[in-house]
Structure 1
Amino acid sequence: MSAGRSGGSARERRQGLWLTLLLLPLALLWLAPLYLMAVFATQPDEAILSASVPLRPGGELLANLSRIVEIARFDRALANSVLVALAYALLSAGLSSLAGYAFARYSFRGKGALFGLLVATLTVPYAVVIIPQYVLVARDLSLANTLIAVVVPPLFNALGVLFMRQTFLGLPQEIVEAARLDGASELRIFLRIALPLVRPALAALFIILFLASWNNYLWPLLVAPDPAARTAPVALGSLITVNSVPPWGALMSGATLMTVPMVALFVFLQRQFVSGITAGAVK
């Protein structure tokens, strides 16, 4: 019996080794543009535009960072991005949790039709709604060039609601019923029992929403193009114009400054992220 187990474990190790060797070139291919971006962030524009592509870091990182702060107010834009992404992820995750819990645990009139409408919104292209949404926010509500206009309109996230619904469906109903028999209110059950039990899934949803807001470009570009209100992606995009050569060193330094924290966040939280995604997929 022990020989069979050791043979199986050895076979699994060999399979894992071959799989690692197979995926390693793909990982290096994915990491190559990130490495070049980080290298270009430390080079002057002349080296980046030269025929021989620099593959080693240079010494112009601080100069490029100072340059992008000067010409694009990137420090303000980066602070706006952090504020917008945190607010959006927290509020949208909270709303998705509330709606998902209601769809999973309550029966009410029109639930099926409302859930069907929720699913139907996933088939509507974003390009169809962005112009009416812009007219409503910028013209009717006069909220253009405000962080509220960047955060609030995209808060409804149908995928987040569906994800949390499936997660709450996996909770044992007996726990909720026992809390109700003990006299706990519905809000207390949601906050003290349901949410702590789905913490990994909620953390995974928060990471997804944060990254989506952090990388969002089109909506902030439309509704908040003012230098005082724009986010980091919009600030980087403003450096690329038709009539001038972009400052590639400064551009790459800003892109690196945006990318490194997100990559580090995912590397350190990948176990919780995968655990949350897996938990949310089980009913």
Structure 2
Amino acid sequence: MGAGQLNPAAAVAELTGMTPTGVHALADHVFEVDTDDGDLVVAKFDPRPGAIAAEVAGLLWLAEPGAVAVPEVRAHDDRWLVMGQVEPAAPSIVAAEHLGRGLADLHAAGAEAFGATTGPEQAWVGLAPMRCVPSDDWAHWYVADRIEPYLRNAADRQLIDRDGVAVIETLCRRIEVPAEPPARLHGDLWSGNVVWSRQAWLIDPAAHGGHRETDLAMLALFGCPHLDRVIAAYDEHRPLADGWAARVPLHQLFPLLVHTVLFGSGYARQTVAAARAALRG
């Protein structure tokens, strides 16, 4: 049986040469695989074109500065990724503060440009396509590649009404942020992509160059254990620009639009509210 078929044991055997002895489902198309030498790996299946290549490139790019913990890439092909397993534990203040400092150093490692990535141009954020084309202007890039594609999709499907679209379009014409160099972003840093152990591990990246405030805003979007300590440690280690808290809704607009496109109009009200808050800020 080839590694491309939905058989995690066969995929791990073919890609790594190890002998699987047990398989346990962790999530949809994600499996924990025991091997006869006592090792434990995670096998992830994703048949979308370029998805595994983008995730592998992102994991390696995030690991490069040694600032944050990410799973070790053991092997992969175009549909399977085999990674080291992380043993979860309860979130702790020590791990949260370590994460804050690590994110600050990761962002400071930089990127060649906004939108730049070491993976394919056509990437993914969760289940949604995400374009990664370099730009030197953050505001223009953020509007063109992180807001407009998802806003058009939501408007065409009538998930966001005309008034809501108008609010978001007004914000797009008025975006102002302090000038900062491109940061090396995780890119999909909601709390579900943080695995807590003795330290915090980051999984499922949509890595690209962007504004560092975007990762922090996304981390706050759906709640994160000890978020106040994460932010405080980050700011103490590498201070954030004045007014960063008022810009959180602006940076949350991207993931909220993605959620609207993926999961329906239930997120539309929150998306428009974020745009209104960003305009007031």
Q: Same fold (TM over 0.5)?
A: no
Give TM-score, length-normalised by structure 1: 0.22
Looking at secondary structure, tell me which structure has more strand per residue.
2
Of structures 1 and 2, the one with the larger relative CO (CA 8 A, separation 6+) is 1
Q: Which has the larger radius of gyration?
A: 1
Give TM-score, length-normalised by structure 2: 0.22
